[in-house]
């Protein structure tokens, strides 16, 4: 099973390819697809931010409880 970090990397690579096509051929189709890729990156980035925040808070709580 893929974690969010892997999904984020794959989404960026897909965006990179889509952006290359958009730059080469600015069409409605390429425009829509590159924006779709960016929305996916944004959603995954938000998910990853939440995961990082939760991990950080858990670690701090464990450290605080051990003191």
Output the pLDDT for position 67.
Answer: 67
Q: Distance between CA atoms of 61 and 57, rounded to whole angstroms?
A: 6
State the DSSP code for 25: S
Please report the pLDDT score of residue 2 as a whole number.
Answer: 85
Note the pLDDT of residue 20: 98
Give mean pLDDT in consecutive 10-residue pieces for the chain, a chain of 67 residues.
92 98 97 98 98 94 79
Q: Where are the domains of the chain?
A: 4-66
Full-model pTM: 0.84
The sign of the CA dihedral 34, 35, 40, 44 is: positive
Q: Which residues, 6+ apart, have CB-to-CB distance to 56 below 8 Å?
A: none
What's the confidence (pLDDT) of residue 43?
98
Supply the pLDDT for residue 66: 79
Which DSSP category does 51 fall into? H
């Amino acid at each position: 099973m893929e974690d969010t970090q892997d999904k984020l990397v794959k989404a960026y690579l897909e965006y990179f390819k889509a952006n290359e096509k958009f730059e080469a051929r600015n069409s409605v189709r390429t425009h829509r697809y590159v924006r779709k890729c960016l929305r996916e990156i944004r959603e995954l980035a938000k998910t990853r931010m939440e995961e990082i925040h939760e991990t950080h808070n858990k670690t701090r709580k464990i450290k605080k409880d051990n003191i």
